[in-house]
Amino acid sequence: MSFGFGVGDFIAVSKLANAVRKQFNDAPGQLQVIRDDVKRLSNILRDIDDHEPADNLDDQQQKTLNEISQGCCDVLQDLIKTVARYDGLLTDTRVGPRPGLRKAGRRVWNRLTWDQAEIDSFRRRIDTNINAFGLFLTECNRQLSRETKDIVTVTQHGVNQLVQHQDEQRRREILNWLSPTTHEAKQADFFGRVQPGTGSWLLESDEFGKWMAQDEETPTDQRSLFCPGLPGAGKTFLTSIVINEIQNILAQERIALGFFYCNFREQTTLLEILSILVRQVLQQQPDIPGFLETTYQKHLDMGTSLTVDECLATLDSALAKLPTTFVVLDALDECYLPPGQRKKLLLELFGLQKTRNLGLFVTSRDYPDISALFEGKPNLRIRASAADVERFLRGQLDNLPRVMQQREDLQQEVISAIAAFLLARLHIDSIQGKRSVKQVRESLKTLPSGLDAAYEDAWSRIENQLPDEVQTAKEVLSWISCATRPLTTRELQHGLAIEDNQPYLDEDNIPEIEDLIAVCGGLVIVDQQELVVKLVHYTTQEYFERNQVRILPHAHRDIGSKCVHYLCFDAFKSGTLWKFEDFDARLREYPLFEYSAENWASHSRKHNSDMKLILKLLRKPGNVDACFQVILPRGKRWYVKQNWESLSRDFQAGVRGVHLAACVGLVEACRALIREDEMGNVDPKTDHGQTPLWFAATYGFPDLVQDLLNQGSFIENREKLRETTPLYAAVLRGHEEVFNVLANAGADLEARTKYKGSPIGIAAETGNERMMKLLLARGANADIKIENGLTPLQRAAMGGHDAVFKLLVGATGMDKVRSSRRDLLDYAGIGGNESIARFILDDEGFPPNEKARCAQHALHVAAVYGSENICRILLCVDGVSVEEKYANGRSILSVAVVAWKKSARLIKLLLDTYKANPNVKDDDGRSALSYAAVDYDQVEHIIQILVNADGVDINSRDNEGHTPLHYAISSVLRVGNESYTAQRKFKRFVRILLEGGADVDVGDNTGRTPLSHAVDPKLEEGKSHNPKKLRDVIRILLASGANPVKKDDHGLTPLSRAEMRLPAGHEALILLQEAALHSTLNQLHIKSVQ
C-alpha cells in the first residue's frame, strides 16, 4: 500500500489505528500492551495532523513522512491480518470488525494464545514508528521556528505562513489581554539562585510524591498540598524547585502548570491572579478556547474588562481538555487581597478540584485563617534543612574572604553556626569583610540568633561606612522600603540622580546600580529577570516599618520632594500627549515619571512636605496636564491604548492645578490655589464639568471634601459625561467616609444620572454591603426604578450579591419579592447565586404551579448564562422538565449549546443526570449537535460530549435535510473565519463526527452532500471563498471518504458543480478531479475482478 501524504490522509491512518485499538479492547492481559502501544501511536498521529499541514513540508520532509507513514500502515495491517489468522476472528483486512462479531470476539479472545516473541516483535515495530514520528515532529518544529524568523515571501507557502502568523498574533493578543505578565521572570530569578540538589528532601517526600502522582481517581480532598513554614525557612526557593520539577515533565506528559508568586509589596486583585493562571495554562495549549475568543471580542467592542466569573469559566474550560493541571501559589500570606478574596480564591480552586484533576500546591506562614481552609487536606511543613543550608553556603564561597576559601575547617565552622536560609544570607554578608581566621571565628561567636538582631547587625555595618556611602545606603533603603510598589533599577537610579532646583536630569549624575547595592549591607538584591530592586526578604520590610521613625525618619518627606522635583522637569512642559506611542516613549525616557505622578502626594501626605515646591508644580499647566494623563482611569492597557485620545479628552480636558491637588487629596494646596483665583471660585470646572469637590469625592478624601464644603462648594454639581454627583461618585468607588460627609451636608441620596442611575442602584450593582447599609440607614428609596427600568432588588439578584439582596428584601418587604418572582428568579439565573435562587423558591407563599412556571422560564435564562449551579436547583423543582421547549421550539439542551456563555458542565448535567434527549428538534428541525456544529471552533469539548451522549443521532437532519456536518462546512467556509486554528479545529471536528459514525456522503432534501455544499455554497453577493481554505476542506472531506461523483436530485455531482464555479487550475478542483479519477479506476478494477 502506498501512502501519499496529504492534509486528510492522517484521518484515514488515525481511523485505522483506532480500529485496531478497538479490536484489542476485550483482549486478555497478554495483549493489552499492544492496545496501549497502538493508542500511543494514534495520539502522535493526531499531533502531526494538528500541527503539520502539508504546505509546511519541503520535499525531503514529505519523503521522510511518507516512509514513516508506510511503515505505520504496514504494522497496523499486519496486526489485523494476524488477528484474522487466529481462529478466524476476522475474515478480511478491512478497517474495523464485522457487525455482530463483538460478543463472539470476546469468546474467541479466550482461545487465542499468541507467541510472546510475536507480541514483542509487534511492540518493537510500533515503538520504532512512534519514535520516528516523534523525531519527525521535533525536527519540523525546529525548522518552523527557524523559518518564522525569515521575511514571508509572496508565494503560496508564504501565504500559508502568513495565515498562521496572523493566527498566532491573535492568540498573543488574547493572552496579553488576559494578563501582560506570566511570573516566568520571577520563576527564573528565584530558581536561578538555587544551588543544585536543594530541596531534594521535599521532592523525595511521600507527601509530594502522592501529590504529583494524582489522577482522576484521586479523592478531591487529597489533591492539595499545603506547605506552611516559618519566615526565612526558604519557602519561595522551594516553591521555585517544585515549579521547575513540574516544568521538566510538561513536554513529556499532557499536563499544564499555573503558578503565582505573592508579594506583600505588589498590590493585586483576585481577577489578576486568576488571569495570570489562565494565561499560563492556555499558553501551554495549542488553541484558545472559543468561549474566550468570543468574550475577548465582546469586551473589545464594548470597551469593558474580563470579569472574575468569565475568568473562572475560561479556566474550567481549559482544565476540561487536560488530564492533569497543577497550580502553585507561593506565600499566600503575603497576598493582601480585599477582605474575603483570599478565601474566595482558594474556595474557587477547591471547587474546580471537584470536577477537574487539579493539583494545588500552596506555601504560607502558618496563619490560622489560611490553615483552617486546608483542614483535612495533606500538608508538609517547610523547614530549612541542614543539607540545603550547607549547599547555599558552599555556593557563596566565591564571596567570602580568601582566608575562608582556603580553609575547609573554617568553612565547616561557618556552616555549623548558621541554621536558616535568611540568616545564612545575612551572616555571610556580615563576615565578608573579615581578613583573618581569628576575625572570622570572633565574628561567628557573636552571630545574632534572631532576625531582628541580624538586621540590627546589618544596620550597624551600614552606618560604619564612609559618610557618602552611609548617605547613599539610606537613600536607597528609603526608596525601596517606602515605595508603594517594587521599583525597577532604572527608576531607583533616576530617583538618586535628582538634584534640587535642577530643571532636568543630568545623565552624568546617574549612579551605577552595582554601587548602590554594594553599600546596603546585603539587605538589597536585584531581580535579574525583571530588573527590579527589592529587599532581601519580606521580614526585612517588616523590620524597616517597625523601626522607620528611628532609622529613616524623613524617608517619605525626601521621596515626596524628589518626586515633585522630577515632575517639574522642563521635559514635561509639553503637557498632554495625544498619541499613545508618544506617551509610551515619555515613560521609557523618564522611567520614574509614572511612579512620581501616581505617588508624589501619598508620600507628601505622610510627612509635612515643602508646600512651596508642591505649588510650583501645580502652577505649571503643562506639567499638570502631563501628571494628570498618568492618573487617568487606567483600566486594561489594551483598552487604554486603543482609546487613548478619547480617554485623554474625556478625563483631563481643561484640568488645572487645583483639580490635580483635589485628585491627590492635598487640602492646603487646594486652599492656596482657590485663594489665588481672581474670582475666588471654589468650584472651577474642567471642560467636562468636574469640580475639585467631584474629584475629591471620586478619589476618596473626606477631609478635603469637608474643607471644600466649608468653603461653599456646590454639593450637587454634576459632571457632564454621565451627569454624576459627588455623592454618586463616592458610592461608586465605595468611599464610606466621603459618603457620610456628603450625606451629613444634605446631599441628594436619589440624584439621577444621565442614564437614570442612582446611588442605591450603583451600590446594588457593585454589591457593596456596607454602602448599602449606609444608604438604607439614611432613608434611601430601596424600590426606586433605576437604569433599564430595574429595581435595586433586581440589580442585586442579577449581580449575584446575596448580602445586598437580603438587605433590600428587609427594606422593601417580602411583598415586593412575591410581586416580581419571575423576574427575580430570572435575574438570579443571570447572577448565578444559589442563595438568592433558594431564597425565592423556598418562600412558603409560592404556589406550586406558579413556582414550576417561573422555574421553567428561569431555567432558560440560567442556561443562556451558563449558570450550571442555578440550573441544578431549578431542575429539582416539581414540574420542571428538561423536555420543555422554548422559543422556536428549542430544548433546554439546545439553549445551553447556543448560549452566550456556554457551560460544558451544564450540558453534561442535562445529559447524564437529567437524561435530556440529545435528538430533540426545534421548529427548524435542528438538534443540539446541529447548533454546536456551527460553532465547532468554539465548543469542541461540548461537541465531544454530545457525540458521546447515549442514543445521539449524529446524522440528525433538519427540515432541509442538513446534518451537523453540513452546518460545520458552512461555518468553516464563511467569510471571516480565516484562522489556521479554526481549520485545524475543523479537522478535529470531522474526526470526532466520523469516529462517532457520521455519514460523510449523506444528502440533504435535494440530495446534496457536505462535499457538494463545500464547492457550491450559499454566499453573500460579491463574496467568494478563500482558495486555500476551500482546498483544505475539500481535501479533508475526500480523505474521509466523500464521493466526488455522487449525483444530487438535479443530476449534479460535487465535481460538476466545482467545474461550473471554480476556475481551471484551482487546487480544490484538481483535488476533486484526481479523486474522481481514482474512484473510476477503482470501479473498473472491481468489475475486472468480478
Q: Is 495 exposed, middle or buried (0-12, 13-18, 19+ CB in 10 A)?
A: buried
Last residue of a domain, one of 367, 383, 399: 383
Mean pLDDT calculated for residue range 982-1005:
82
Whether residue 342 sits in one domain with residue 423: no
State residue 135's pLDDT score.
Answer: 56
- At residue 644, does pLDDT exceed 60? yes
Whether residue 300 sits in one domain with residue 174: yes
State residue 156's pLDDT score.
Answer: 41
Residue 191: how many other CB atoms lie within 10 Å: 17
Average pLDDT, the chain: 81
State residue 297's pLDDT score.
Answer: 75
Work out how many domains the chain is built from and give that number: 4
State residue 392's pLDDT score.
Answer: 63
Tens-place pLDDT, residues 209-245: 999 988 888 888 899 999 998 776 788 889 999 998 9
Query: SS3 of 138, please?
Result: helix
Q: Determine the straight-line distance between the first and last CA of the chain, rounded to whole angstroms.
A: 21
User: CA dihedral defined by 594, 597, 600, 602, rounded to 10 degrees?
Assistant: -90
- At residue 451, does pLDDT exceed 90? no
156-170, 377-391, 864-878, 910-924: range with lowest mean pLDDT = 156-170
Phi first, then psi: what are they for 461, rounded to 5°?
Answer: -65, -35
Whether residue 308 sits in one domain with residue 406: no
Whether residue 265 sits in one domain with residue 355: yes
3-state secondary structure 456-467: HHHHHHHHCCCH
- At residue 939, does pLDDT exceed 60? yes
Tens-place pLDDT, residues 289-317: 766 777 787 777 666 778 888 888 888 88
User: 433 or 492: which carries more pLDDT confidence?
Assistant: 492
421-430 and 386-395 helices, crossing angle to 10°: 30
Whether residue 427 sits in one domain with residue 288: no
HSE value, Cβ hemisphere, 13 Å, CA-based, for 78: 15
Examine residue 309 and state whether it is found in any structural domain, yes or no. Answer: yes
CATH of residue 201: 3.40.50.300
Quote the pTM value.
Answer: 0.66
Residue 27: how many other CB atoms lie within 10 Å: 19
State residue 453's pLDDT score.
Answer: 73
Examine residue 822 and state whether it is found in any structural domain, yes or no. Answer: no
Highest mean predicted confidence (pLDDT) among 11-25, 383-397, 972-986, 1022-1036: 1022-1036
CA distance 931 to 911: 16
Whether residue 97 sits in one domain with residue 76: yes
Last residue of a domain, one of 525, 553, 581: 553
Mean pLDDT calculated for residue range 607-627:
91
CA distance 986 to 976: 15
State residue 971's pLDDT score.
Answer: 79
CA 907 distance to own-chain centroid: 23
263-267, 355-359, 662-666, 719-723: range with lowest mean pLDDT = 263-267
Examine residue 945 and state whether it is found in any structural domain, yes or no. Answer: no
Whether residue 16 sits in one domain with residue 72: yes
Q: Are strands 255-261 and 324-330 parallel, antiparallel or unpaired?
A: parallel
pLDDT band with cut points at 50, 70 and 90 for residue 6: very low
Q: Is 460 exposed, middle or buried (0-12, 13-18, 19+ CB in 10 A)?
A: exposed
Tens-place pLDDT, residues 556-577: 999 999 999 999 999 999 998 8
CA distance 382 to 944: 43
- At residue 164, does pLDDT exceed 90? no
Examine residue 925 and state whether it is found in any structural domain, yes or no. Answer: no
Burial 611-623, CB ≥16 within 10 A → b, else e: eebbbebbebeeb
Cell numbers for 395: 555556593
Examine residue 60 and state whether it is found in any structural domain, yes or no. Answer: yes
pLDDT band with cut points at 50, 70 and 90 for residue 1008: very high
Q: Is the dihedral of CA 596, 494, 462, 423 positive or negative?
A: positive
State residue 7's pLDDT score.
Answer: 40
State residue 806's pLDDT score.
Answer: 95
Cell numbers for 842: 423556598
Structural domain of 520: 465-553
Mean pLDDT calculated for residue range 977-1004:
77
Provide the edge-to-edge strand list for the sheet that holds 487-488. Answer: 487-488, 532-535, 524-527
Examine residue 589 and state whether it is found in any structural domain, yes or no. Answer: no
Whether residue 362 sits in one domain with residue 249: yes
pLDDT band with cut points at 50, 70 and 90 for residue 592: very high
CATH of residue 536: 1.10.10
For residue 907, give the nearest of 919, 921, 892, 920 by alpha carbon. Answer: 892
pLDDT band with cut points at 50, 70 and 90 for residue 56: low
Residues linked to residue 328 through DSSP beta bridges, in sequence order: 259, 361
- On whether the CB atoms of residues 935 and 900 are closer than 8 A, the answer is no
- At residue 815, does pLDDT exceed 70? yes
Place of cell 422555574: 855
Last residue of a domain, one of 553, 578, 606: 553
Whether residue 323 sits in one domain with residue 190: yes
Whether residue 223 sits in one domain with residue 367: yes
Examine residue 737 and state whether it is found in any structural domain, yes or no. Answer: no
Whether residue 502 sits in one domain with residue 377: no
Whether residue 414 sits in one domain with residue 535: no
Query: SS3 of 682, please?
Result: coil
CA distance 597 to 603: 11
State residue 10's pLDDT score.
Answer: 52
Tens-place pLDDT, residues 388-413: 666 665 666 566 566 556 666 665 65
Residues linked to residue 358 through DSSP beta bridges, in sequence order: 325
Examine residue 437 and state whether it is found in any structural domain, yes or no. Answer: yes
3-state secondary structure 757-808: CCHHHHHHHHCCHHHHHHHHHCCCCCCCCCHHHCCHHHHHHHHCCHHHHHHH
Phi first, then psi: what are they for 210, rounded to 5°?
Answer: -65, -40
- At residue 267, does pLDDT exceed 80? no
